[in-house]
């Protein structure tokens, strides 16, 4: 949709999201109301690249990439669609954006000059066809760098030591390990590369007409940046590849302006030459901005995978989970936990124990006792991320493993187990809950009142639901564009919003259950650790 806009000065802000399956744009007005949206779906709209779900899976089943030029062509198509609808580009005051975290782009030597001198009569795709030293960009789904991960951890003194420096232990999808693999397996291509971008800074570069810097938040997801000094960590750089700092360029705060829009885009689409670009960031930090997470909030997304985000003033890096620099406050941090076994497991137990009905599932939760008479369940249908383990485990009140529960016990064990896991791992990263804390719940399961009541009781905090957050990362970048715009850089992020409340109170915690779940959290942590130790032992054997 595009509404007619008439103004005396630029008053529109754009957010873009280069995600796994699509490139999306959202425009908001000065009141931060959405006025335009457009999307390019890679599989449907660009079938010549032969992607499935926006990616290409390789024969080894571990390597997953995306064609870099597909992303370039997607931007051409997106901008042409907006132009054909009469979108007033001249009204855009500022642009920011996001990209799928951990992906990387390798610019061929000489491309900087080409970016600086683009011909406005031609599209980007036509002009950048020969601009990449690596044609297919490694992305977050890639898991082919285990050897490089172990080597990096060994250099710095172990997984915990690396986490304390960079915010995370070595992960296969993290960019430093991907760069190390390319240097080792394609040394000529690495040498031919003059600059390396993240997906976010790559997209920013196309708007800037020059290589855009990497921002602190997305830079935190590389195993290369010191999250405390917010500089590249030399020991990590040297462990991954030579001359790496030069190829990566500068790091900047996520809310910093990085320049004005390129002359190319002004000439081709009619942007005003004063339109500013604010540093682009990763999709998880952008989502934090999109849900407007506050210092005392806990954001829990209940989707195919479940995620948890926290605002932290003092980070406590651990070998599970991630610590990133906060995208809306460079002096703060955010914690991120990802759990692979989310809605698909809930749906499986629903089908097995409540005839496929969410209504019956909720009734079961409501009539079964909090604490489940001491029974605890741990359900990892797929190999979990946090912790690294697989299987279904059921324990009675004496922590003795049993083979089965009743249907009511199974449903409550699943829901309690999932939320106990989130609580104990969040506490390891620095979570504290006080009278001002609240949980912001998103995703499909956030519509189920009975599930939210268990969540509220386990965390002992009220739960609010957030309407209209399906595109929180893209929308968050439109917000960030306004926040970083000239004249607002000294304003706190939450001060740019109208003072109306965005959230709906869903449930409040039942005080009588606090002590019960404090005890269960300790039990769950011990039981999960035992399972994890067995899993790691089996893997090493």
Structure tokens at 59: 């024969």
Q: Which pLDDT does position 118 carry in this prediction?
A: 98
Strands 214-215, 251-252: pairing kind: parallel
Structure tokens at 33: 């109301």
Structure tokens at 163: 């986490």
Q: Which pLDDT does position 5 carry in this prediction?
A: 41
Does this model's pTM top 0.85? My answer is yes
State residue 120 phi and psi, 5-degree precision: -65, -10
Between CA 163 and CA 267, with CA 473 as vertex, the angle to 5 degrees is 115
Structure tokens at 170: 């070595």
Tell me which long-range contacts 357-366 makes (C-beta under 8 A, separation of at least 24): 358/448, 361/411, 361/448, 361/450, 362/448, 362/449, 362/450, 362/451, 363/450, 364/407, 364/408, 364/411, 364/412, 365/411, 365/412, 365/415, 365/450, 365/451, 365/453, 365/454, 366/450, 366/453
Structure tokens at 511: 């005080």
Q: Which pLDDT does position 501 carry in this prediction?
A: 64
Structure tokens at 326: 């906060």
Name the region of 32 (left: φ>0; alpha: ψ -120 to 50; beta: rest).
left
Q: Return d(Cα 309, Cα 298) in angstroms, integer.
A: 6
Bridge partners, 252 (sequence order): 215
* Contact indicator for 326, 430 with CB cutoff of 8 Å: no
* Contact indicator for 321, 339 with CB cutoff of 8 Å: no
Structure tokens at 395: 């324990």
Cis peptide before 387 (omega within 30 of 0): yes
Q: Which pLDDT does position 490 carry in this prediction?
A: 74
Structure tokens at 335: 């914690």
Q: Which pLDDT does position 536 carry in this prediction?
A: 60
What is the 8-class DSSP label of residue 499?
A: S
Q: Return d(Cα 532, Cα 320) in angstroms, integer.
A: 12
Structure tokens at 184: 């080792």
Q: Return d(Cα 389, Cα 177) in angstroms, integer.
A: 23
pLDDT, tens digit only, all 541 positions of the chain: 444 444 457 899 999 999 999 999 999 999 999 999 999 999 999 999 999 999 999 999 899 999 999 999 999 999 999 999 999 999 999 999 999 999 999 999 999 999 999 999 999 999 999 999 999 999 998 999 999 999 999 999 999 999 999 999 999 999 999 999 999 999 999 999 999 999 999 999 999 999 999 999 999 999 999 999 999 999 999 999 999 999 999 999 999 999 999 999 999 999 999 999 999 999 999 999 999 998 999 999 898 889 999 999 998 899 989 999 999 999 999 999 999 899 999 999 999 999 999 999 999 999 999 999 999 999 999 888 888 789 999 999 999 999 999 999 999 999 999 999 999 999 998 899 999 999 999 888 888 999 999 999 999 999 999 776 668 899 999 999 999 996 665 788 988 988 766 789 999 999 999 999 999 999 999 999 999 887 666 655 5
Sole residue written with tokens 């994890």: 532
Strands 297-302, 438-442: pairing kind: parallel
């Amino acid at each position: 949709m595009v509404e007619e806009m008439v103004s005396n000065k630029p008053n529109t802000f754009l957010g873009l999201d280069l995600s796994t399956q699509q490139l999306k744009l959202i425009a908001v007005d000065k009141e931060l109301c959405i006025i335009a949206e457009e999307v390019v779906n890679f599989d449907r709209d660009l079938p010549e690249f032969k992607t499935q779900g926006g990616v290409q899976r390789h024969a080894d089943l571990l390597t997953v990439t995306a064609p870099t030029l597909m992303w370039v062509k997607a931007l051409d198509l997106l901008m042409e669609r907006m132009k054909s609808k009469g979108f007033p580009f001249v009204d855009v005051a500022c642009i920011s954006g996001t990209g799928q975290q951990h992906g990387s782009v390798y610019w061929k030597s000489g491309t900087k000059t080409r970016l600086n001198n683009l011909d406005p009569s031609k599209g980007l795709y036509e002009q950048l066809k020969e601009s990449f030293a690596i044609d297919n960009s490694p992305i977050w789904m890639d898991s082919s760098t285990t050897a490089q991960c172990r080597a990096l951890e060994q250099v710095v003194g172990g997984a915990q030591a690396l986490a304390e420096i960079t915010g995370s232990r070595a992960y296969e999808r993290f960019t430093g390990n991907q760069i190390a693999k390319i240097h080792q397996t394609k040394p000529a291509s690495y040498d031919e590369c003059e600059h390396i971008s993240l997906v976010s800074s790559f997209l920013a570069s196309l708007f800037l007409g020059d290589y855009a810097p990497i921002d602190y938040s997305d830079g935190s997801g590389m195993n290369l940046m010191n999250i405390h000094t917010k500089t590249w960590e030399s020991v990590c750089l040297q462990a991954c590849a030579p001359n790496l700092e030069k190829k990566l360029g500068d790091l900047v705060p996520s809310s910093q302006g990085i320049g004005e829009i390129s002359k190319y885009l002004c000439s081709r689409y009619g942007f005003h030459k004063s339109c500013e670009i604010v540093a682009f960031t990763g999709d998880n930090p952008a989502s934090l901005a999109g849900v407007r997470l506050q210092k005392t909030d806990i954001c829990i997304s209940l989707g195919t995978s479940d995620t948890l985000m926290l605002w932290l003033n003092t980070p406590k890096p651990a070998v599970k989970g991630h610590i990133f620099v906060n995208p809306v406050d460079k002096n703060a941090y955010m914690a991120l936990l990802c759990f692979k076994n989310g809605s698909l497991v809930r749906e499986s137990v629903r089908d097995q124990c409540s005839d496929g009905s969410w209504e019956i599932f909720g009734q079961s939760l409501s009539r079964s006792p909090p604490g489940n008479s001491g029974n605890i369940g741990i359900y990892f249908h797929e190999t979990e991320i946090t912790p690294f383990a697989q299987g279904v485990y059921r324990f009675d009140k004496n922590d003795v493993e049993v083979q089965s529960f009743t249907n009511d016990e199974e449903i409550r064990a699943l829901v309690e187990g999932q939320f106990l896991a989130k609580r104990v791992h969040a506490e390891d990263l620095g979570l504290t809950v006080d009278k001002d804390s609240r949980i912001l719940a998103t995703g499909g399961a956030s519509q189920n009142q009975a599930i939210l009541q268990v969540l509220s009781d386990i965390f002992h905090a009220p739960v609010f639901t957030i309407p209209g957050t399906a595109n929180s990362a893209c929308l968050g970048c439109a917000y960030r564009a306004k926040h970083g715009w000239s004249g607002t850089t000294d304003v706190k992020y939450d001060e740019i919003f109208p003072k109306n409340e965005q959230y709906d109170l869903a449930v409040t915690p039942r005080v009588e259950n606090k002590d019960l779940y404090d005890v269960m959290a300790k039990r769950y942590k011990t039981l999960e650790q035992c399972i994890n130790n067995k899993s790691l032992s089996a893997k090493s054997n």
